[in-house]
Structure 1
């Protein structure tokens, strides 16, 4: 009996709350509170304020309780340079908007950029990022290629080589273009060992070879081949 009584009381409370919320959402109710403004609480560098405003204006005037925060966040995330978005209510009539921008660490081909997680995104304007290393390959491999870039560049730094383009071919071959114009060709099988062997052997090459751009083919188990461009 007591259990039935508790259930009845609980259902009554839920029903009352539902009725209150319904009244709050009705525009002709004296308790209706429309969203009147929003405030951007994070600093932005690349996202245009006008793009954010275009999204937010569509939600102004809606009920404080009814407005769908997930929908706003989803729309904001689709904007150029937005990595994630968080929207919160502030009683009685305001929304707070926080934007996390993409942080590019490399370029992807001619049209994209790669963030620190290895995810490729395509902003409309790539101006100002020409100094970043270019990555090339299958889109599904972007994160793996970014990891390899870090490993290859750290290793090659010891012989003062700087990578300008890192490309993973369909056959699994790495093609590494260097700032001095040289190229390194490396297969994925045993690439760490072969690159280490090359780095240890490189100082023994003649000065004439090292002064001009060369192609270093490391796809051999017992050494590598040096050829002119």
Structure 2
């Protein structure tokens, strides 16, 4: 039976031995069929781990925003029954905060075996290192870009956090890290605890949790253009 391997990809510039098990690396190196959020980053990943198959002989399907379920079914059907394929994200775990869930759903519907492999997830790593509530949490992706919409949404999430004692998790495009950080300091209550986790698994990795009041005194961390996760828990 064909297996769809869910292979995590690194979160930044660090050796694959640090974030992907040897067995998963060995399997990925043998495969000829991939579905990827970004073909360019998928090729970079394959070059990093090394492949037993020449790159030009590897098929990489790009999972676009407008990819249809029928296209995915066609990709899966084209894989010979004696071969496997892999789903890779642009960074982190495929199908978690990632469009790859569409591929997994079609694989499940087709009766394929789905094999998830352990690897880096910024959401889980940030939550682990934050010291915030790890049993009740919600990941929201990106906050609205427009300031008034963003501020209203942050207040709503803080209200949920206070009501349910639930950690709220969100990300931002690296060049807007400071804008979101400043919005969080402006909107959230002084007692709310905020964790800023940047460049997880990389040499620049930084994770720090302070109350909003303490962050206002400490100032912004050095996270310019670094992939960053923001987590907060209302007191």
TM-score, length-scaled by structure 1: 0.24
| Structure number with higher strand proportion | 1
Higher helix share: 2
Which structure is higher in RCO with an 8 Å CA cutoff and minimum separation 6?
A: 2
Q: Which has the larger radius of gyration?
A: 1
Q: What TM-score comes out, normalization by structure 2 length?
A: 0.23
